[in-house]
Chain A
Amino acid sequence: MSNGTRGETVFRGISWSAFACSANTACVDVKDGKILRIRPLHYDDVTTVDQRRPWRIEARGKVFEPGEKTMLPPLSLSYKKRIYSPNRILRPMKRVDWDPEGERNPQNRGASKFEHISWDEATDIIASEIKRIHDQYGPYAILCQADGHGETKVVHAPHGAQALLLDLVGGYTLQSRQPDSWEGWYWGGKHIWGNEPVGMQVNQRNLYKDIAEHGDAVLYWGCDLETTPWGWGGEQPSRMAYFLEDLGLRSFFISPDLNYTGAAHKGKWIPVLPNTDAALQLAIAYVWLTEGTYYKDYIESHTIGFDWFERYVLGGEDGVPKTPKWAEGKCGVPSYTIKAFARYWAKHAVSIAHADGGGMIRSPFSAEPARLEVVLLAMQGIGRPGVGQLHLIEFGQFGFAEWNPMPRSEKYFEVPGAYHGWMELLDGHPSFIPKTMIPQALTLQEGEKLHWHGHGVCTAPRSDQFIPFEWPLDDAPYIHMIMSDSPSWTTCWNCGNAMQDALRNERIETIVMQHPWFENDAVFADLILPVNTMFEEKDIAVDNWTGQFNMMYIQDDCIEPIGESKSDWECAIEVAKKLEKFGGIYADLVERYTQNMDVDAWIKAGFESANVDPSLMTYEEFAEKKMCLAPTAVGWEDDPVALSAWYEDFSAQPMQTPTGKIEIYSTGLAEFFPDDKTRPVVPHWVEESDDLKERLSCERAKDYPFLMVTNHPRWRVHSEHDDITWLREIHTCKVAGPDGYMYEPVWLNPQDAGKLGIQDGDIVSIYNERGSVLGGAIVTERIMAGSVYQDHGARVDAIVRGKGGLDRGGANNLICPLATASENTVSEATNGFLVNVKKVDVEALAAQYPEEFSREYQPEDGLRVSAWIVDEDQ
């Protein structure tokens, strides 16, 4: 390879966890200040085979190996278009009718346009607003949203660089983000079997090898390994699934949609109506109970409370036996298939695979199907050879090696010493608001408080969920100012329309956001700082998330910052420069914030915090080679399989529950929330609650007779990537409307489409009382009748803002329930909610909303920031 076609190569992790853990390690070729290409890293280019010690999994006469290169997804390979997107924010912007010295016009947020201002003016305004809010209300009047979906960076962290600054001047109120992709595990799983901090089987050690050797089947239960892992670790799970098929294991796809896993792999699809998995699970238990086909001794020795469950399933509690016929009426799976499935399962070694997301785990009452899955796994002796709960994403997350089903690496890299973001920790922020309750918090009436339990952050232990909290703290102010990075609340959380209303509340005097692109919540800002993409910054990165080889590397900047953009960290420094002029608590703020360290010094600090054994690499070698790859651990084959010791004797490897057993009767819930019907002590089918009426049996279903599937998107990471031209050309990414607009696809079964008079390619509205979002119909057998599918996270294009509003972009989080998934949790319920669908006439809508429908728009890349900037010549 010569430099002629290659250019200079830079290592770069192109992923979107947005915390300090990167993935998708790529080689970026750069020439003449321009990015030529993004391609996989070949391990041979940075190490020798001897150095890597590649693992080999041998099973049934076949061999699986890590592969010779990183398995980049299309989201990484197409990223050049994101970097050079015409929707980049290139200069600081201020809303034209927001005057910090006069009228602020909060009601116009999301509608009025912006003007460019200088960095000097922008940071002057931000600093003086912070000072004013501090003086007038106190520091807790500033809400920091430091957890939006964004790029993964470390020194330049997009998650809370501004929050870290405010920590130095009295603190702030924290928006506390709950585990939006694994809610049910966190709020349910932990109460039945601990498994801190996730609530899924966190000990995955050698589980993949065990399943390859001893398993008969894998249930991909709401699991889309061909989609969700892409943004966090690429396509290795795809290879893993193919290998298991090669070995003869059967695959089952259990979801309302034939998702991309079911599309790519061969197996049996069991379509189940959205968020009715609990009914299916109960009926499977019914078959096993009545036919005596479960591990009775194991249940006796390894669990508590099974008798409560048995009584409920057989109808002793409510007079309703949870028969397959009963379940068929709820979940749409024929009772004969449920029986056949239960019998097959009881005769085979069956594992269940997840890759975050999946409908049931993000739906109303998500703690129920999570716990019921654990009950089923227990009834079939989880821990015996070939039976586990397999996790196919974010291998090694939280930095512990067990949380990886693939052969152990010698080193799991973490670089907290370089990180400038928020770490989802519990301490230090007495004033915090669960992210799911932000709309209520922003609009509280004078004298009112919010009450809930638990910090909700993904690192918190089970016991944290029992701690009562309230906001605001005594004598503390309400929120008067918001500072956000990677702002994507409305596109990714519960009832974005309520948030759009809250952001226009007049109590909110100032909203400052920083982001590379003008998208989603950014439209609701008063002042916006332009952030650069990771390709414009030098940084350090780690990649532990593929199960191939763990790496830590220096990411040189590939190109000069585009426009006047700066990194999130640099944005905070610019604000600090202005704040320190006020003296007092603000004195020496730049020095206190940067600790007089430049980017290289932070990278070095990051390396040091990784505690790398010098025999692997010293800092001097790292600075020169820029890449540190950890070999496979010697002796990994001898690590005991995940739960094998537990299986043999529960006390040898107890669960993190009060009794050390699987608590089908959850003692913690019994102690703290004995009367909670929305998360009962023993897992149940919950039909509805006062807050959530999202079942086909509910009165509302007369008006909204479909259940919504809102998967993690195939062609985005949450709300990112929606402007990438090359992705938007793909058939399942967008549907071209008659008006030239590229609508977000809506999958409808032909039966439903026929009843609704909708044809392939029609533009439709998905709606309920909370509002409506548009989409382009794809009439397909990939979705079962009774369900409507639209990926979540399409870019907001608000035609009518707020509750009852209309969104052209198809951002269906706008119309999710606002209520939390169960009473005593702060989890979101953003899947499996009721909607109706109708065909719309976009020309009529355009006539009704001429201004909104004529915003500058290019079908290739979508909405552009230029549409929102006033003509500067005037």
Chain B
Amino acid sequence: MTSAQDVAQQIERRDIRNRWLLSAPALVIIFLAAIGPLLVMVAYSFMVKGDYGDVRFGEFSLDGWFSVLFWRDIFDDTIGLADAHLSILWRSIRLSFITTALTLAFGFPTAYFIATRPPSTREVWVFLITIPFWTNLLIRTFAMQEVVRNEGILNSLMIWSGIVDQPVQIMYTDAAILFGMVYVYLPLMVLPLYASMEKLDFRLVEAGYDLYATRARVLWRIIIPLVRPGVIAGSILVFIPSLGAYVIPRVLGGGKNMMLGNLIELQFGAGRNWPLGAAMSITVMLIVMLALLVYVRNATRSGVQHG
């Protein structure tokens, strides 16, 4: 008996070992070119900055982290809040929230529309959402430029309809960044929303109407609570890349309207303060992890509710 058990155990152990060997290439590549560098960056954030970029290897200091939020006067050592950093942090968070809200406002009806089409045409609508999703981010940002620039579609339309008689400057403002982010990240909202609406049980909706609920009440009390996991997943998927946006503010926001991504780049370019840039990157990563944590907690809670 014991020997048969031993053999079974041995086979299982060998199976697990083989499975580790098989997954090794993927794990090693991701460690070398993603996770490992992130760990090195954590170490860099605690080092002394080099005079021409990089760091003084092995000399440790908390200056990088200190400078994320504070600023020390060169002459009299007084300490103040780093207003520039804080305002960019605030702008990034604010724009990301607005982007999430707007994509939800447009994405929810769109996903609902797709989910209520007959199965034969549904695939085509989903396909129409997927095409922009797989199109180069830079190209889509550039396409948005065609809409918001002074001679662009939006201004031509407004002048033609007589709302304004001079082009309104939208390019290089926060509004342009918002246009761009909503446009680029909308598919990330629609796809998970659609996935959860597809499974919606319309007998529950029918029951609501049988009990004399209005359409708005059915929407608020039945549909939205049921597709909440999709709403949360979509919001997270939009919020994370919005917060780290780099290309969109660079192209549509110009040099002045920076977001966190551009501020980080600045530390590695003209700013020559790698530890500060590393500390800022880790800050962004921590905010993202916090968002993911909220998602996981919500996902497991709704799982308990339904299962």
On whether the two chains bind one another, the answer is no
Residues of A within 8 A of B (CB): none
